[in-house]
Amino acid sequence: MFDLHAMNLAFGSEIFLIVAGLAGVLAGALLGDKFNTLSFRFGAVSLVIAAIWVALAPQGAVAFGGLLATGPFVNFAKVVAYLSAAIALMMADGFLGRHGLKRYEYSLLIIFASVGIGVMLSSANLMTLYLGVETLSLSSYVLASFHRDSQRSAEAGLKYFVLGALASGLLLYGMSLVYGFAGGTSYAEIAAAEPGIGLLFGMVLMITGLAFKVSAAPMHVWTPDVYEGAPSPVVAFFATAPKMASMVVFAVILYVAFPQPEAFKNWQLIISIIAITSMLVGAFGALLQTNLKRLLGYSSIANMGYGLVAIAAGAEYGAQALLIFMSAYVVASIGLFGGVLSMHREGGMVESISELSGLARYRPAFAMALSVLIISVAGFPLAFGFLGKLAIFEAALSAGLIPLIVVLVLSSVIAFGYYLRLILVIWVNEPAAPFEKVDGWVTGTVFLAALASIALFIFVSPFSDLAGAAAASLIL
Amino acid sequence: MDFPILSAVTFLPLAGAVLIMLVRSLAGSTSEDTVDNRVLYCGVVFSIATFLVSLVMLFGFDRDNPAYQMTEQIDWFSEISYKMGVDGLSVSLILLTTFLTPIALIASLGSIQHRLTEYVVAFLILETFMIGVFCALDLILFYVFFEAGLIPMFIIIGVWGGVDRIYASFKFFLYTLLGSLFMLAAIVYMYLSAGSSDVVILENFEFGTGAQTWLWLAFFASFAVKLPMWPVHTWLPDAHVQAPTAGSVILAGVLLKMGGYGLLRFSLPMFPDASELFQPMVFVLSVIAIVYASLVAWRQTDMKKLIAYSSVAHMGFVTLGIFSFTEIGVQGAVFQMLSHGLISGALFLIVGVVYDRMHTREISAYGGLVSRMPIYASLFMLFTMANVGLPGTSGFVGEILTMVGAFQASTWAAAGAALGVIFSAIYMLTLYRRTVFGEITNPDVDVLKDVNFKELVCLVPLAIGTLLFGVMPNLIFDLTRESSLRVLAMMAGG
């Protein structure tokens, strides 16, 4: 009944993470506060092992009677998500230490959130999908309010929870409708079901719920608030691993469960509209922000809009573009949040854009690295982000989505207005008081991400081949 | 495989920039406001070395061979490759770039008073991207260089510019970016249609008439902003006025030429039908640009703005010549680009000379310079005449040939352009009379010193170039003839 080999292929890394997480709980219970420091390394190492576990057998398998099914496409996302979660975790170490929040629960929550990511990526059934989404979400709510003494953090957590619960409700409602009209919960059964108005309703509600998770407009309202309020290392996590996973899950559901031409036409229209709104909201919303984290929040809304363009292009054209674009976004984002985490002065963290003023004068190399990341996330040449945007252009043109391309161009130009403002503040303005040195993990991540952004721009070939192979597996 | 000379020319300045950055950060100098001219000398050495390497390239170039030469190709990803190669058109523009960059850097000596290291680094990086634009034989690679150059220029205007530098740098950047992104969409479309972004393959690929129209418009959106053409020229006066002198030299001398280069390299050969279709529109826009910009230039009170508008007018001749689709017109347009690169660069330097002394660009603040600065007045006279198009200077050759070419295509366009020649005489001579002649009314002018050695080093090579190419235009024509003919052959054959 149980095919252990397939189980390992499809779910081994998650089982490992669950065991690691539970072991962490035990260790915490036995060692108490002594485990706090160690737990971050423990968590990061577990996540890296999980990533390697997946990377060693990317072909995946079907397990648990079809509840879980993995393939190169989702495994690609898993590797990126686990690695970025590990880095986000290590970056949190110093920050939490300074704020007296260095507790082992943090790393365990990141591990469990990653388990959620793994489950939702592996799922081939609405039931497992929902389990995964909720595991991720519940961990995220707690993480958002992890800074218990901070009013803003608590507010962010509450906002995230209330709106997130609503979105989960919509998702669940959509799933129940889909189940009712398709007569089954597995993607294959849904794909084979007779199209009809009921199924359409269910699909729309599911899209709504998922759009919330990827913070696509008009379900984006929580994003700037949570980005601003939640502790910065938590946001560094939110902006990377879950974003990567949610977008890929979004794509998988639409590509695998609703592939019929008629359904495709319907969801392509809906996704296009969401993409357009996200791109515009993200571009305009960020223009007047003064808080760097809020700005990055809007920037992520716009970038998810670009990602949705790739999804709207359909599996054949969009899948590879989505992987390349999201990877570029994750690399740049994690570096940028490293930048946010290094904005530390005597008396605590600062978040206003003007605090970056004249950074280039006293830390030119660091300023250069940040600029590379900004250029990458803006999708400008010389950094990986450009190739991501190029791939999306290619996908959208192949699919003939001309209006989306026009909006993409316009919103990119508007968005560049605020990315440029960041570069300007860093390079041109008179220097503000220098930041204090923060721990090596944060600085190292910024440099590493900048280097990776440039290296992947120049030597992209193996990477894009990998993404191409992963995407091709989805079509077969 | 031969020595990759094109990559060497392209990336030598970048290597210099990296080296300077490394040495500076190892030296640990954090007092960024002390001016250490050694950095600038390093930059000059690297840019001159680049010029020498580009001369080597010139001597290795076979001017009777119309095909792309010295090609290098390395796979990048998918069907896109790092492909470099030059023909006569690119060689001439690369030489212009490598010639102007050392001059621009030398001109900065003493006039840039803060953050010199970053300044030199930005200039060298910019040079790499500019040369890259003219070498790239892959559309995506071209786009990368084309766009990447915006960032150093943005920083140059934004950090070392005038009072309104922030506004000007944003305007410059976003204007150009908007045009370019439409071009990117077009490039991706071409890549998908032809299965390759290789310029040589795309030149031989025939796009349908409908597709050509859209692709042409998308490319034109980018090049028209870059050139700039009326009515998307408005970023140029702002950028020029705010940019430091050296920035203006490079902006007018090289960056504007990318637009003309793009039209010749891509729009005409790849979309011949659409180019034919839009010829009247381009003619109308060019004539408007020539006449309107000349009239606007006449009314300017700021010297740099005047020269900026005159650039718009002179670029109008370039588009006129290109779209005449005649050999004489295209050759004239290429010549006009090179000549304008020298002349406008020189004029911005001329303004810079007095600006460094007086810190104002208002024409009314000057007057009577001739009695205090005779050498300056003579050089200024030479470049004024060259800008007007006096026979014997390179300005004449470019204007007359583009007009003859345009005349063969449309009498009215040539007539309108001729009007512009008259206007250019009016505004340039007015400028010259009001600044150089007359009584000295401003006491500050009374104590001015004539051009110093540094300024002569910058201006004299440009003067020599202007006169040399005015008397012996064949030096350039021999170089660019085969590529001009090739463009026209592809127009006719496509």
DSSP B304-328: HHHHHHHHHHHHHHHHHHHTTTSHH
Q: Which residues of B touch A (CB under 8 A)?
A: 21, 25, 30, 32, 75-78, 115, 118, 140, 143-145, 147-148, 151, 154-155, 158-159, 166, 169-170, 173-174, 177-178, 181-182, 184-185, 188-189, 191-192
CA distance to partner chain B, nearest, from residue A282 (Å):
17
- Residue A348 is given by DSSP the state E
Determine which of B22, B32, B78, B182 to mutate to test the interface with A (most A C-beta atoms within 10 Å): B78
Determine which of A409, A421, A422, A465 to mutate to test the interface with B (most B C-beta atoms within 10 Å): A409
The residue type found at B320 is L
- Residue B72 is given by DSSP the state E
DSSP E strands in A263-308: the ranges are none
- Predicted confidence at residue A135, as pLDDT, reads 94
CA distance to partner chain B, nearest, from residue A5 (Å):
35
Structure tokens at A376: 């990458």
Q: How far apart are CA B325 and CA A146, in angstroms?
A: 69
Mean pLDDT of B105-134: 87
Structure tokens at A95: 């920050």
Contact B147 A380 (CB under 8 A): yes
Give yes or no for residue B29 having a pLDDT over 70.
Answer: no
Alpha helices (runs of H) in B195-302, residue ranges in sequence order: 199-203, 209-226, 235-242, 245-250, 256-262, 268-270, 272-298
Mean pLDDT of B73-79: 82
Q: Which residues pair with B75 in a beta bridge?
A: B81
> Which one, of B170, B262, B171, lies nearest residue B221 by Cα?
B262
Task: Answer yes or no: are the C-beta atoms of B142 and B176 closer than 8 Å.
Answer: no
Q: Exposed/middle/buried for A265, CB within 10 Å: 0-12, 13-18, 19+?
A: exposed
Burial A23-50 (b: 16+ CB within 10 A, else e): ebbebbeeeeeebbeebbebbbebbebb
Contact B77 A360 (CB under 8 A): no
With a CB cutoff of 8 Å and minimum separation 6, the contacts of B268 are: B275, B322, B325, B487, B490, B491
Give yes or no for residue A237 having a pLDDT over 90.
Answer: yes
Give yes or no for residue A211 having a pLDDT over 80.
Answer: yes
Burial A178-208 (b: 16+ CB within 10 A, else e): bbebbeebbbebbbebebeeebbbbbbbbbb
- Residue A257 is given by DSSP the state I
**Residue of chain A minimizing CA distance to B165:** A428
**Residue of chain A minimizing CA distance to B214:** A402
Mean pLDDT of A278-306: 91
Q: Which residues pair with B72 in a beta bridge?
A: B84
Domain tally, chain A: 1
Higher pLDDT, A88 or B33: A88
User: Which of the residue ranges A93-97, A354-358, B457-461 has the most confident prediction, judged by mean pLDDT?
Assistant: B457-461
Q: How far apart are CA B450 and CA B455, in angstroms?
A: 10
Structure tokens at B457: 């080093």
**Residue of chain B minimizing CA distance to A457:** B76
> Which one, of A294, A292, A275, lies nearest residue A395 by Cα?
A275
Mean pLDDT of A210-224: 89
- Predicted confidence at residue A476, as pLDDT, reads 54
pLDDT more than 90, % of chain A: 46
Helix (H) or strand (E) holding B82: strand B80-86
Task: Answer yes or no: are the C-beta atoms of A184 and A190 closer than 8 Å.
Answer: yes
**Residue of chain A minimizing CA distance to B29:** A362
- Predicted confidence at residue A301, as pLDDT, reads 93
Mean pLDDT of chain B: 87
Tell me the per-residue pLDDT of A15-57, one tens digit each, with 9 for 90 and over: 999 999 999 999 998 988 888 888 999 999 999 999 999 988 8
Q: How far apart are CA B49 and CA B32, in angstroms?
A: 26
Determine which of B156, B188, B189, B217 to mutate to test the interface with A (most A C-beta atoms within 10 Å): B188
Task: Answer yes or no: are the C-beta atoms of A174 and A205 closer than 8 Å.
Answer: yes
Task: Answer yes or no: are the C-beta atoms of A52 and A74 closer than 8 Å.
Answer: no
Give yes or no for residue A2 having a pLDDT over 80.
Answer: no
Residue A161 sits at φ, ψ, to 5 deg, of -65, -50
Q: How far apart are CA B260 and CA B318, in angstroms?
A: 7
Higher pLDDT, A64 or A144: A144
- Predicted confidence at residue B95, as pLDDT, reads 92
What's the angle, vertex CA A343, arms to CA A341 and CA A345, rounded to 5? 125
Write out chain B residues lying below 8 Å of A375, CB-based.
Answer: 151
- Predicted confidence at residue A475, as pLDDT, reads 64
- pLDDT tier at A331, thresholds 50, 70, 90: very high
CA distance to partner chain A, nearest, from residue B191 (Å):
9
- Predicted confidence at residue B35, as pLDDT, reads 60
Count CA within 13 A, CB hemisphere, residue B199.
Answer: 30
With a CB cutoff of 8 Å and minimum separation 6, the contacts of B376 are: B350, B353, B354, B369, B450, B451
Mean pLDDT of A432-438: 80
How far is C-alpha B268 from the geometric centre of its chain's CA atoms? 20
Mean pLDDT of B285-302: 90
Instruction: Give residue A131's domain range.
Output: 4-475
**Residue of chain A minimizing CA distance to B142:** A381
Q: How many CB pairs under 8 A join A and B?
A: 80
Task: Answer yes or no: are the C-beta atoms of B194 and B205 closer than 8 Å.
Answer: yes
Structure tokens at B403: 């007009």
Contact A464 B177 (CB under 8 A): no
Q: How far apart are CA B287 and CA B386, in angstroms?
A: 20
Peptide bond into A224 cis (omega under 30): no
**Helix A261-287 × helix A197-213 angle, to 10°:** 30
Give yes or no for residue A276 having a pLDDT over 90.
Answer: yes
Mean pLDDT of chain A: 89
Higher pLDDT, B48 or B363: B48
- Predicted confidence at residue B96, as pLDDT, reads 92
With a CB cutoff of 8 Å and minimum separation 6, the contacts of A12 are: A53, A57
- Predicted confidence at residue A246, as pLDDT, reads 93
Tell me the per-residue pLDDT of A352-363, one tens digit each, with 9 for 90 and over: 888 888 888 888
Give yes or no for residue A312 having a pLDDT over 70.
Answer: yes
